């Protein structure tokens, strides 16, 4: 099979623009995590109302994956859509800060989730069109590095603002971070985009959502990928909440610091190894490192179930970083390979994103029930078994989507 055709190298200005857009996007998204629950609690909200608005946002984010991806595929205006989405997300943060009433916060959560469903595929599309299939792994690795760095720095900055000022200040900072994100987009030149690589082999006069969905639903390789990442998140999503609960019960005095380390350690691993993961995958294929990422999950869950030493628990989180780096970079790369010349890259990303969301949603509920009835260790071992099933399924069913010479293996992706 011939190697991938040469693609002109993107300018440093455009590459830096994507770097910093990924960085500030992570900054903004960090504000809508645990900080929102803390802020609403200080505003005298009850747990039921907090849970309702958070759930509403999660539902919109899940349901918005497919239409968000389809919109990016259909309009081919990725930079514009990313800018509008960041504006919407920034305004939703500002709205939460200014008017923390139930209806305003609910609408803000819906607006934020809708914007997030578009901005993620838009960033992926910008990355692919800027560097082409030959270098997409390395580009996604850089995205992951800047995103992880942004999350770490944002958490520290927002935590400081919340401590020294108020929890409301966090959302003013969140809204402000949308501005440099939009400015970063201006550094990216659309003249350097290679949209022809994303176009269908047989040009279509217009985009048909139903036909595109049918095409994805009959793609065996994409279905296998979606199933395995669903199992992965079914195993993975509940692990941190379970361990955080154990740490809080056993080490109440320093539980916050330990939980923070649980989050920081994997982010540092992701920031450190992600570019290398992308380069390796571009040169030698995606499957080997994905096997490492899938394999690290059941080992991590089993080790967490067998230890209660806080130092050991934190050290085990290195495995979480390996899984996050592998899947965070390479799943999107596999989707790019699988949908090459179909025009459905972002829709397929949404399809896989829904699979992830379903797995994660079921995980926390099911693991909580098991932990209440049989104990946390049993729940973690159950999650380890699900993670092992994900690894075995991927190992035996998922083909390599990329040849060592850099060309997608199209004969497999059409099965």
Q: For the domain bounded by 207-415, which CATH number is listed?
A: 1.20.1250.20
pLDDT of amino acid 114: 94
pLDDT of amino acid 211: 84
pLDDT of amino acid 227: 96
pLDDT of amino acid 378: 93
271 Cβ neighbours under 8 A, 6+ residues apart: 144, 145, 148, 149, 152
Structure tokens at 157: 């900055």
C-beta neighbour count of 249 within 10 angstroms: 10
pLDDT of amino acid 24: 96
pLDDT of amino acid 195: 61
Domain boundaries, the chain: 11-186, 207-415
C-beta neighbour count of 25 within 10 angstroms: 28
pLDDT of amino acid 272: 92
Do residues 118 and 77 touch, judged by C-beta distance below 8 A? no
| pTM for the model | 0.82
| Low-confidence residues in the chain, pLDDT < 70 | 1-9, 195-207, 248-257, 403-415
Closest CA to 34 of 177, 179, 236, 170: 170
| CATH class of the region 11-186 | mainly alpha
Asked if domains 11-186 and 207-415 share a fold, the reply is yes
Distance, in Å, from the CA atom of 131 to the CA atom of 332, rounded to the nearest integer, reads: 14
């Amino acid at each position: 099979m011939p190697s991938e055709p040469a693609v002109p190298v993107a300018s440093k200005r455009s590459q830096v623009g994507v770097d910093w857009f990924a960085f500030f996007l992570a900054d903004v998204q960090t504000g809508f995590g645990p900080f929102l629950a803390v802020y609403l609690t200080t505003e005298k909200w009850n747990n039921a109302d907090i849970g309702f608005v958070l759930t509403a946002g999660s539902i919109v984010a899940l349901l918005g994956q497919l239409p968000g991806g389809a919109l990016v595929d259909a309009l081919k205006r990725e930079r514009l859509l990313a800018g509008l989405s960041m504006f919407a997300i920034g305004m939703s943060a500002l709205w939460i800060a200014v008017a923390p009433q139930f209806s305003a916060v609910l609408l803000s959560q819906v607006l934020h989730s809708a914007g997030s469903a578009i901005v993620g595929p838009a960033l992926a599309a910008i990355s692919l069109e800027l560097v082409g299939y030959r270098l997409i792994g390395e580009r996604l690795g850089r995205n992951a590095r800047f995103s992880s760095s942004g999350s770490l720095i944002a958490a520290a900055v927002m935590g400081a603002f919340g401590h020294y000022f108020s929890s409301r200040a966090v959302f003013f900072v969140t809204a402000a971070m949308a501005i440099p994100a939009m400015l970063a987009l201006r550094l990216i030149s659309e003249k350097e985009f290679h949209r022809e690589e994303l176009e269908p082999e047989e040009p279509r006069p217009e985009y048909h959502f139903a036909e595109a969905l049918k095409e994805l639903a009959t793609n065996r390789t994409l279905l296998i990928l979606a199933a395995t990442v669903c199992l992965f998140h079914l195993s993975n999503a509940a692990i941190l909440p379970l361990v955080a609960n154990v740490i809080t019960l056993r080490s109440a005095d320093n539980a916050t610091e330990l939980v923070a380390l649980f989050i920081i350690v994997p982010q540092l691993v992701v920031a450190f190894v992600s570019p290398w993961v992308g380069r390796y995958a571009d040169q030698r294929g995606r499957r080997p490192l994905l096997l490492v990422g899938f394999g690290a999950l059941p080992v991590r869950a089993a080790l967490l179930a067998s230890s209660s030493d806080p130092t050991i628990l934190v050290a085990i989180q290195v495995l979480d970083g390996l899984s996050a780096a592998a899947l965070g970079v390479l799943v999107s790369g596999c989707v790019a390979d699988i949908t090459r010349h179909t025009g459905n890259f972002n829709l397929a990303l949404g399809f896989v994103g829904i699979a992830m969301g379903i797995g994660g949603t079921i995980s926390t509920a099911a693991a909580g029930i098991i932990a209440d009835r049989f104990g946390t260790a049993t729940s973690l071992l159950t999650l380890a078994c699900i993670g092992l099933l994900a690894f075995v399924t991927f190992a035996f069913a998922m083909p390599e989507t990329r040849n060592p010479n850099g060309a997608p293996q199209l004969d497999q992706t059409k099965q």
